[in-house]
Amino acid sequence: MRCPYCGCEDSKVVDSRPTDDGERIRRRRECFNCLKRFTTYEIVESTPMMVIKRDNSRETFSREKLANGILRACEKRPVSVDEIETVIDKVEVKVYSNADREISSAVVGEYVMEYLKELDEVAYVRFASVYRQFKDIHSFMEELEKLLNEK
């Protein structure tokens, strides 16, 4: 870390503690050359997760957008807000555990359907009908038959 007073690149950390918001680390440093003290802040650099859409465009992963889709699927269903939050959290963890910084929207959709199937079958079918873009009643019925055969 370069000293702001003399420009020397050698300093030592005298004190280190988290900031009040817990998002950064505050470090008091002392320059080896001029012996003056200065403060630096360390933050975690986060690279945004990018979602690759069907048309190959990319957009930043949005928890809010994910939540809106799941909430729409669960509308008027006996699913609590806590259960929905749990699904959102699980999907988000899976998305961010991906080693790459990009993930296909198809993969995100599959994660959502995996958890919705366990939570509420009607919500699952609602989400699947939008996500899989059923073209007609036959493709819709195929999905329902798969669901029934799994039971």
Range of 105's domain? 50-150
Q: Is the whole-model pTM more than 0.85? A: no
64 with 28, same domain: the answer is no
Q: Are residues 31 and 80 in the same domain?
A: no
Half-sphere exposure of 77 (CA within 13 A, CB side): 21
Looking at the structure, tell me whether residues 68 and 24 fall in a common domain: no
Residues 78 and 93 in one domain: yes
Q: Is residue 115 part of a domain?
A: yes
Has residue 3 been placed in a domain? no
pLDDT digits (tens, 9 = 90+) for 7-31: 999 999 999 998 877 778 999 999 9
58 and 38 in a single domain? The answer is no
The CA distance from 135 to 59, in Å, is 26
Asked if residue 1 is part of any domain, the answer here is: no
Residues 38 and 78 in one domain: no
The string of pLDDT tens digits covering residues 31-81 is 999 999 999 999 877 778 999 998 999 999 999 999 999 999 999 999 999
- pLDDT tens for residues 99-131? 788 999 989 999 999 999 899 989 988 898 877
Cβ atoms of residues 37 and 65 within 8 Å: no
pLDDT at 135: 67
One domain for residues 115 and 140: yes
Beta-bridge partners for 42 = 25
| Co-location of 88 and 139 in the same domain | yes
Measured between alpha carbons, how far is 32 from 116 in angstroms, rounded to an integer?
Answer: 58
Q: What is the pLDDT of residue 78?
A: 95
Q: Residue 94: name the closest of 112, 72, 117 by CA.
A: 112
**Residue 28 to residues 33, 80, 87, 150: CA-CA distances in angstroms?**
16, 47, 42, 60
Q: Are residues 91 and 23 in the same domain?
A: no
Strand order in the sheet with 37-43: 11-18, 24-31, 37-43
Count of structural domains within the chain: 2
Whether 68 and 118 map to the same domain: the answer is yes
What gap in Å lies between CA 50 and CA 83, rounded to an integer? 26
